[in-house]
Copies of this chain bind each other. A is one copy, B any other.
Amino acid sequence: VVAAADWGTSHLRVWLLNGEGEPIAERRSNEGLSAAVTDGFPAVFERVLRSMDAPHDLPAVICGMAGAKQGWIEAPYVATPTTIAGIFDSAVAIPSTHRAIRLMPGIAQKKRDAPEVMRGEETQLAGAVAELAAESQLVCLPGTHSKWVQVEKGVVRGFASFLTGELYAVLSTSSILRHTIGRNNAVSHDSPTFASHFRDALVNPQDLTGRLFRLRAAELLYGMAPGDAAAALSGLLIGAEFASARPWERSPGAKVLLIASGRLGRLYAEALRIANCDVTAVDADQTVRAGLFAAARHHFRLRAAKAIRDSA
């Protein structure tokens, strides 16, 4: 048994995992980085674990922004290329009087002309390792800052990030497009408007910033509905991401491993289908838990075994 946590900028998710890595308890809270900076990371973490009746000496593994410079303790980036074991080895031990805690590092691509960083996604990659045995595998992790990762024989070679999710958020809430899109317009993967705008951006990515304005013009001149505008914005931004990531060129057989959940996962799966890619989809929640559990087994071999005996 082990505690596993994904601690991001705006959220904290904690699970208790059994000896097979299955979740036996879960807590989700809004105590992300900003909240934790105020109350203190140890206080927030211990409070959540107490609420789950976690033993006082239960070991824990944490991934995400908690390891950033402004986080609990900085867990420096591992540089590409790196193996999955190399990621585990670089986890940082957090001093604690009563429990062992490891904080996962991020990964950095230290190229002056293509600098890249990730925090949290490395743990999802570690959790999807069974799918990464291939000679060469392109992995897509959509989100606020979408990642496309090249993995060769289990080695993380390099990656690229896109501001896709964040652009959607700021444009739909803080730009002129907020009038056009309105609130609570979730985009469905089978929207024809999503598909047509995705295709358009794929072919004409240079027109992105112009197409964005045209959504407002389409509302003013033709009464484009908020749901359609949301689907169009999503299609344009994901299309621009694909036009740069070019999975059909960069992956043998255009095979892509998609690590995502819910609605966003369905949208990207549809986008990959339109782009003629061969998609294998795994759930992002499951992979992050699997990655944290693998890290726990890497670091806490004896403790985990003992915990299993105790609980038996």
Contacts and interface: CB of A to CB of B under 8 A. Distances in A.
A222 B113 CA distance: 11
A290 interface: no
A167 B176 CA distance: 10
A145 interface: yes
A143 to B, nearest CB: 12
Interface in A150-183: 160-164, 166-167, 170-171, 174-176
A208 interface: yes
Given A114-B214, A213-B161, A214-B161, A208 B175 contact: no
B117 A220 contact: yes
Interface in A139-155: 145
A114 B117 CA distance: 37
A125 interface: no
Q: Tell me what chain A mostly uses at the interface: helix, strand, loop, or mixed.
A: helix
A108 B210 CA distance: 15
A293 to B, nearest CB: 28
A213 to B, nearest CB: 4
A112 interface: yes
A307 to B, nearest CB: 36
A108 B115 CA distance: 42
Interface residues of A, number: 43
Given A174-B170, A209-B237, A213-B161, A222 B112 contact: yes
A213 B244 contact: no
A212 interface: yes
B207 A115 contact: no
Interface in A235-250: 237, 240-241, 243-244
A160 B208 CA distance: 12
A217 interface: yes
B167 A217 contact: no
A116 interface: yes
B115 A208 contact: no
A69 B221 CA distance: 12
B206 A243 contact: yes
Contacts of A77: 221
Given A206-B206, A207-B244, A213 B176 contact: no
B116 A206 contact: no
A205 interface: yes
A218 B115 contact: yes
A303 interface: no
3 closest residue pairs by CB, A with B: A205-B206, A115-B217, A161-B213
Nearest to A205: B206
Contacts of A160: 210
Contacts of A216: 117
A206 B209 CA distance: 11
Contacts of A13: none
Contacts of A166: 175-176
Contacts of A116: 213-214, 217
